[in-house]
Amino acid sequence: MREFGKIVIYGVGLIGGSFARALKAAGAVDEVVGFGRRPENLTEAVRLGVIDRVGTDPARELPDADLVLVATPVGQMSALFAQIAPHLGERTLITDGGSTKRGVVAAARAAFSGAFADGLARFVPAHPIAGTENSGAAAARADLFQGRKVVLTPTAENHAEAVARVQRAWTTCGAEVCRLTPEQHDRVFAAVSHLPHLLAFALVRDLAERPDAPLFFDFAASGFRDFTRIAASHPEMWRDICLDNREALLAEIETYAQQLREFKTALRKNDGAALETRFAVARAARRAWSEENIRQKSQAASTNKPCT
Amino acid sequence: MREFGKIVIYGVGLIGGSFARALKAAGAVDEVVGFGRRPENLTEAVRLGVIDRVGTDPARELPDADLVLVATPVGQMSALFAQIAPHLGERTLITDGGSTKRGVVAAARAAFSGAFADGLARFVPAHPIAGTENSGAAAARADLFQGRKVVLTPTAENHAEAVARVQRAWTTCGAEVCRLTPEQHDRVFAAVSHLPHLLAFALVRDLAERPDAPLFFDFAASGFRDFTRIAASHPEMWRDICLDNREALLAEIETYAQQLREFKTALRKNDGAALETRFAVARAARRAWSEENIRQKSQAASTNKPCT
């Protein structure tokens, strides 16, 4: 028997679609039903075999669903949770793919409390660290989560069995599952993900709005290409992430602006030693991170050991 | 007969070593002599076949050299130009690989004026847009310049024939040669290269100096990896570039800080529309750049047409 009978996915994009593809490839699911805002994307998802059917009525699809993945931009989750809550079955597990977790957990608490037996017990928040600048069902890949981390931020209300089964769904997709509290999660990702995205968006916009922008873009090379890859990310998705995690993000911008001021002072004073020392700290840390990353990946590949 | 008899390279690193390898691979040079600060790097360069000999005495190696490439960090060029000026032959061409051009041209004017027949006529400033975060002779590759742009910033003193021959050396390496004035060059690269490097160094240092840095680095993923690749760049080289181009760079930091303030205001006001609009401008510009880049590369590959 398969691990999951019916899975329902809200938002059949890069994350939702890849989750479906990965579980299908693993033979872990009987049927995948997809809901979404853009009918043409859902049609494409069926055509590509990402989902089996397009869902139209939550009241019909949810009561017998084994697992629901909400993989919409985080700004839509609050309304969506409220919409699906009355229709969830007594055994339906729910997880999400949101890049922020405090807001998502608060929205789940508001929507799911008392809405069905066990309340919040079966909503297990997740953040798969597998985003790319691509979006839509056509970007979905069965191997997207292979060797990637998925952060679970279980709540006090969670049943241990629900957490274990949701964890199994993500590891079946090939992911390494880690755990953080929602607060830890949002603080860490404000620094290592949300801030870099904002910085890349800001740089490209800064150039794009100059009257002689083509001259600048003409000479941009591989350093610029890699630095700004994430500036091609989904604007609505990142709007929601930034708003949802704005306190942590504002604090990160402040800290970062302080770094820039230090660099400015060093430049103004022609202080080469200060610049070089700062660059060297960054280079050493970046190289150590890169080597550790390679080491961990080869270790994970050989032992398949999750990070929890 | 080969295009060049003897070539002398100062600084046998990524750029200098790749220039040697590319001209050797093209059969365009008889002998390559390398000078440098680190004897172990020069020994390695001979062992790897990047250069034929280690130079010890400029007075012996320079008079019969056809071409000298100065590929040291730009901060060393002023002293180096003064050191080599008295020994250059009457027909010796000189070019450089510096990432800034106004300062390099000023240093060349100071060192080469009246130092040998034709004065500055045969110093043709160049900036190959082919840096990576790797350095040293071991990083040198014959195909490093293939399809990459090299910006020449010829001076008023240059002989047309000297410019043509230096251009030929770079195109023989596989590069597309473009021309800018030194001022245009420095303004453009402050924005598309020097600022992004500074921003990446600043982000990694910001994280590296936190007491709980490992927690942050643990969850950094592919967006972070690409955004910060250039933060592993050579600290001394980038110190020199930043100092040499500090006025343009300070202006760019100012403009960028203004972008960040706009984002901060939008976040503080919870102004999702402002964020999304700015992100969308950036995404559209980044995608257009990426597509134009791919188009140009395939066009250049099929027609081998230089950008001048």
- Mean pLDDT, 10 residues at a time, chain A of 308 residues: 93 97 97 97 97 97 97 95 93 96 95 72 96 86 96 95 97 97 96 95 95 94 91 93 96 95 96 97 95 77 52
Picking from A181, A205, A241 by the largest number of B CB atoms within 10 A of its own CB, the best residue to mutate is: A205
* Helix axes of A195-208 and B195-208: crossing angle, nearest 10 degrees: 170
Q: Please, are residues A62 and A12 in contact by the beta-carbon 8 Å criterion?
A: no
Q: In this complex, do B263 and A202 lie within 8 Å of one another by their Cβ atoms?
A: yes
pTM: 0.89
Q: What is the CA radius of gyration of chain B?
A: 21
How large is the average pLDDT for residues B22-50? 97
User: Which chain B residues are closer than 8 Å to A280 by Cβ?
Assistant: 235
Q: Which of B215, B232, B264 sits opposite A287 (nearest CB)?
A: B232
Q: In this complex, do B292 and A199 lie within 8 Å of one another by their Cβ atoms?
A: no
Return the pLDDT at A301.
56
Buried b (16+ CB within 10 A) or exposed e, A59-81: eebbeebbbbbbbbbbbbbbebb
Return the pLDDT at B117.
54
Residues in chain B: 308
pLDDT at B277 over 90: yes
Picking from A178, A192, A195, A197 by the largest number of B CB atoms within 10 A of its own CB, the best residue to mutate is: A192
**B123 bridge partner residues:** B94
What domains appear along chain A, each with residue ranges and CATH number?
Answer: 4-179 (3.40.50.720), 184-270 (1.10.3660.10)
Q: Which of A75, A193, A208 sits opposite B223 (nearest CB)?
A: A193
The more confidently predicted of residues B294 and B26 is B26
Backbone angles phi, psi at A152, to 5 degrees: -95, 140
Q: How many CB atoms lie within 10 A of CB A225?
A: 15
Q: What is the 3-state secondary structure (H, E, C) of B74-123?
A: HHHHHHHHHHHHHHCCCCCEEEECCCCCHHHHHHHHHHHCCCCCCHHHHE
Q: Pairing state of beta strands A93-96 and B29-35?
A: unpaired
pLDDT at B308 over 60: no
Report the first-to-last Cα separation within chain B, whole angstroms.
27
Return the pLDDT at A113.
83
Q: Which of B129, B215, B246 sits opposite A188 (nearest CB)?
A: B215
Q: In this complex, do B267 and A289 lie within 8 Å of one another by their Cβ atoms?
A: no
Question: How far, in Å, are A15, A166, A194, B306 from residue A137 at the CA level?
Answer: 9, 22, 23, 40
pLDDT at B41 over 60: yes
Distance CA A96, CA A68 (A): 8
Average pLDDT, chain B: 93
Q: How many CB atoms lie within 10 A of CB A280?
A: 17
- Confidence band for B68, pLDDT divided at 50, 70 and 90: very high
Give A306 to chain B, closest Cα distance, Å.
13
Q: Which of A184, A242, A267 sits opposite B249 (nearest CB)?
A: A267
